[in-house]
Amino acid sequence: MKKFQVIALGDDFRSSLQWDTVVVKANMYDFYHLSGYHRLAQIRGEGRPVLLVFESDEYFVAMPLLFRPVAEVAGLEFSDLWDATSVYGYAGPICSHRELPDVVIQGFQENIKRYFLERKVVAVFSRLHPLIPQEHVVRGIGEVMEIGQTVWIDLTISLEQQWAQYRENHKRNINRLRRLGWKCISCCGQNCKSEFVEEFISIYWETMDRVGASKYYYFDRAYFENLLQMPGAEVWIFLAHLNDETGAAGIFTLCNGIVQYHLGGTKTQFLRDAPMKLIFDEVRLWANRRGAKVFHLGGGVGGKEDTLFHFKAGFSDRRHRFLVWQWILDRGEYEKLCEQRRRWNEKQGFVAASQGLFFPEYRRPIMEMER
């Protein structure tokens, strides 16, 4: 029996239940796939969450996406086309089995293509999950590109083996932090005290200011409060303290045996001490006690091997490829949109605010041209 189902996330509890019932049956999944996380994106105006599910006998493939009207892009207001993207983080398709028959993959691809064309979807983009085999599901439609690597700690080996993989200066720094009296405190979900949440937000925003982050990364208090209450996963705040002063903070999730470093930051005055190293080590020990299998630290900004990647790489020699998938369904319409946007930018005195890979091109951030 073959079946194609579209679960659109609405305001009702029923759609969330339908969504998560599919997700938890997958061979592998993470908190990025859950309905609650997609609802957070919807609240922020990032798109309409939809889960595309193809079933064939005991097999299924499910792809979560955010659908967006092209008309919301300045200069393209009269377009009736749509595009789709993935949530912030690592999502991509999930499957009932690690290995799928070719006929199931073909059925999934044919059904989503038909659905996209019927809905006038011109382009689709998704970050893929480094820990979950997904490339084979979208191979042959669109393009899969490797844009970097991510770092992870294998929690199935002994604590001593995990510690042995740390870079020597990380070990020295962590031991020094403990000698100086640095401690970690943590809280989970709705049990987090408001002052803990305030401390995290203050440090996170200070960090975003310092690194010159784009407006997108300034998540507001409501986002963090909703994230902490998200069903289906444990969401933790870890704080590094010295003499009752917080020096660093991070949000970590635990879902289906996977611990993810989601967001975090360090107070400028404590950058030399690097208390985030102590937080990562404490989270590693906590994750082992909780029976998790993987602690995924992620990669650099935009997948680059930058200073953030170098910092994370000091905790483990384990790497995974960070892949993205992009698919242009109507090349002619896509190029028209790109050209129309380019002309509008030129007329308004704007230029691209970012270089390198960006998809779809007509949504590339812009800034006012220097005069």
On average, the pLDDT of the chain sits at 94
pLDDT surpassing 80 at residue 278: yes
Task: Give tens-digit pLDDT for 158-201.
Answer: 999 999 999 999 999 999 999 999 999 999 988 888 889 999 99
- The CATH T-level fold of domain 150-320 is Aminopeptidase (3.40.630)
Tally of residues, the chain: 371
Instruction: Please give the Cα distance from 85 to 206 (Å, whole number).
Output: 28
Backbone angles phi, psi at 101, to 5 degrees: -60, 145
Q: 183-188 and 143-154 as β-strands: parallel, antiparallel, unpaired? A: unpaired
| Tokens 């809280």, located at residue | 187
Tell me: the pLDDT tens digits for 33-77? Answer: 999 999 999 999 999 999 999 999 999 999 999 999 999 999 999
Write down the pLDDT at residue 156: 97
In terms of pLDDT, which residue wins out, 151 or 366? Answer: 151
Please say whether the beta carbons of 70 and 337 come within 8 A: yes
**CB distance 187 to 193 below 8 Å:** yes
pLDDT value at residue 369: 60
Give the distance, in angstroms, between the CA of residue 183 and the centroid of all CA atoms in the same chain: 28
At a CB cut-off of 8 Å and minimum separation 6, what does 165 contact? 153, 315, 316, 317, 318
Q: What's the confidence (pLDDT) of residue 303?
A: 76
Residue 86: name the closest of 309, 333, 296, 322 by CA.
322
Instruction: List alpha helices for 102-193, DSSP H.
Output: 102-118, 135-138, 159-164, 168-180
Q: Is the pLDDT of residue 350 over 90?
A: no
Domain residue ranges of the chain, discontinuous segments joined by +: 2-141+330-368, 150-320
pTM of the predicted model as reported, rounded to 2 decimal places: 0.94
Residue 314 amino acid letter: G
**Mean pLDDT confidence for 283-303:** 94
pLDDT tier at 304, thresholds 50, 70, 90: confident
pLDDT for residue 301: 83
